[in-house]
Amino acid sequence: MLTVRNMVETDLDAIAKLEAAIFTDAWTIKSIYDTFCQKQAFIVTAENDGKVAGYCIVYFVLDEGEIARIAVDTSCRRQGVGGKILEQVSQICKDKGITRLLLDVRENNESARRFYLSYGFQEDGIRKNFYEMPKEDAILMSKDIT
Which CATH code of 3.40.630.30, 3.40.50.1400, 3.40.250.10, 2.60.40.10 fits the domain covering 2-144? 3.40.630.30
Distance between CA atoms of residues 140 and 137, nearest Å:
10
What does R_g of the chain's alpha carbons equal in angstroms?
14
One digit per residue, the tens of pLDDT, for the chain of length 146 reads: 889 999 999 999 999 999 999 988 889 999 999 999 999 999 999 999 889 999 999 999 999 999 999 999 988 888 889 999 999 999 999 999 999 999 999 999 999 999 999 999 999 999 999 888 788 999 999 999 98
Output the pLDDT for position 131. Answer: 86
Distance between CA atoms of residues 83 and 87, nearest Å:
6
Backbone φ and ψ for 51, nearest 5 degrees, come out as -115, 135
The residues near 33 (Cβ < 8 Å, ≥ 6 apart) are 9, 12
Output the pLDDT for position 134. Answer: 82
Distance between CA atoms of residues 42 and 40, nearest Å:
7
**Domain edges within the chain:** 2-144
